[in-house]
Structures are given as C-alpha cells and as structure tokens.
Amino acid sequence: MSPYADKVMEALFQQAQHLNLVTVSGLARGVDQKCHLLSLQYKLPTIAILGGGMRRYLRSSAKKLIETIVENNGLVLSEFKLDFKPTKRSFPQRNRIIAGISDVLFLPEAREGSGSLITANFALEMKKEIFVAPNQLFSSNGLGSNQLIQTKQVQLLTDFQQILKRFDTTQKNSKTEPLDKGVDPLGSGVCKPAISLSEEEKNLIQTIRLHSYKELSERSGNVPFDYGTLLSQLTLLEMKGLISQSSPGCYFVK
C-alpha cells in the first residue's frame, strides 16, 4: 500500500465513522488490513473474507486481527475447509464473495492485474456501484485504477460523500417486493420465480447437470470461459437461486 492510499483510507473513515455501515475486505496485507483496522478504530463492524481455511489463518500472523474483529461484533468468513492452503485460484473465489455481499465497491488504488481488479470485474458483472480514487500518473500502484477509470464503467471519486451518502442513518430500508411466480426457465416443471437466462448461463447449467458434484477445476475445460469469467457466471447463477455448492467448487443444479 502506498502512502497515498493510506491517506485516502484515513480520510474516508474519518467521514464514515458516524454512519450506519459495515465494511468488507479480504484480510490481506495492505489496503485490506487497513480497512479492517480503521473499522475497529472507528467502531464500525467489519467482515473479513478469507482466501483459505480458517485454521490455517489462525496459525498465522493474522490470528490476533481475526480475534479482534470477532470480539468487536465483526465476522470472519471462509468457504474453504479448515486447513485449506490458499492458492492462486482461491483468492479470486474469495473476491467474488466480497463483491457479492457488498453494496458499493471502493478502490483507493490497484496495480495492473491486481486482485482488486478481479473484484471490480465481479462487481461489474453483478451491476454493483464501483468508485475508484484517481491515482498519480507515475504510480505503478495506481496503474490498474486509472485504467479502470478510463473504461468509464466505474465512477471517479472526487468527494467521499458520493459513497457515504448511501449510508446515512436517517435513511430507512426500502421494502423488498416479492418476485412474480412463473415457469421454470429450465423446463423442469417446477414453479419458480421467473428468471431470464442468457444462452451462456443455460449452457453452464446443463454442464453442471452433466458433471454434478465434480470439482470446478475438473469442469472448467467444458465451458467456453476463462477461470475468472467462469467464477462470475457461477456466482450470478447462485444469486439467482438456480445452483448451489455442496462444498467449495462443487456445484449442482437446485
């Protein structure tokens, strides 16, 4: 984490401390841990999503931070088995959860090809709001951030209130309207909420039916997506209630 990102995070939390919000991050060194530590400092609940098994993290230098988060009404969450060792694929799986449970994603900085950009891609797929702080022109730490801004798919942050006004404690939760019932789009004959599916989603569901309960890594060769896109598609189908996991990476049609 650069001194610039550190300063951005400090300024954001100074303005956020009295608002009704929960922070979500990945417990990694740098911006992630800064997010959790500032949340604790300003008494905001925080959620840490792990990229590996819980017991493995409790044997690491992160143990004290995990205990402090839980002691202060926070949550530490992992979808992996207790002793699962983090891999280059497990962190993108973690990032999809960060994007999925967040209302707003904020990137103070992101290197080119960084995990933060993977999280941003998931958030874009899920149509979540994304705010990115402008970074210095010659900073490698902000190269990915500036490239993301250039795509015009995210919002350039010029005032912290662009994010924080959404968490004003005077605002009341809106009622959730019930879904209209309709015919199962997959033709199973079961009455489910009417859901529109793309051809890619239909093909992916059929692939899961044919390879039920097999590991995701074994199945990925049967679908026309790269790994990151595959995870995003699977997450969207989970959110629509059409598939579920019997264990991390093992999917079945509900």
67 is written with which tokens? 């205990």
Q: How many CB atoms lie within 10 A of CB 155?
A: 15
CA distance 52 to 54: 7
Output the average pLDDT for the chain: 82
The count of C-alpha atoms lying within 13 angstroms of the C-alpha of 235, restricted to the half-sphere facing its C-beta, is 24
Q: What is the predicted pLDDT for the residue at 225?
A: 62
Residues 136 and 204 in one domain: no
75-77 sheet: strands from edge to edge: 23-25, 46-49, 75-77
The residue with tokens 């490239």 is: 147
pTM: 0.69
Residues 122 and 163 in one domain: yes
Per-residue pLDDT reduced to its tens digit, 168-218 = 765 444 443 443 444 444 444 444 445 677 777 888 888 888 776 555 555
Q: Based on the structure, what is the number of domains in the chain? A: 2
Q: By residue range, what is the domain housing residue 207? A: 181-253
Exposure string over 10-39, b if 16+ CB within 10 A, otherwise e: eebbeebeeeebbbbbbbbebbbbbbbbbb
Residues 111 and 77 in one domain: yes
* Whether the predicted pLDDT of 154 surpasses 70: yes
Q: How many CB atoms lie within 10 A of CB 175?
A: 6
**Burial label, 128 (beta-carbon count in 10 A; 0-12, 13-18, 19+):** middle
Residues 61 and 11 in one domain: yes
* Whether the predicted pLDDT of 22 surpasses 80: yes
Residues 160 and 40 in one domain: yes
Domain CATH code at residue 80: 3.40.50.450
Mean pLDDT computed over 137-163? 83
User: In a 3-state reduction of DSSP, which class is residue 189?
Assistant: coil
Residues 152 and 189 in one domain: no
User: In a 3-state reduction of DSSP, which class is residue 129?
Assistant: strand
Q: What is the predicted pLDDT for the residue at 245?
A: 77
Query: Is 176 contained in some domain?
Result: no
CA distance 143 to 2: 12
Query: What is the DSSP pairing of strand 243-247 with strand 129-132?
Result: unpaired
Mean pLDDT computed over 218-245? 70
Per-residue pLDDT reduced to its tens digit, 73-110 = 999 999 999 999 998 889 988 999 999 999 999 999 98
Residues 113 and 197 in one domain: no
Query: Is 174 contained in some domain?
Result: no
DSSP labels, 66-115: HHHHHHTT-EEE--S-TTPPP-TTHHHHHHHHHHHH-SEEEES---TT-H
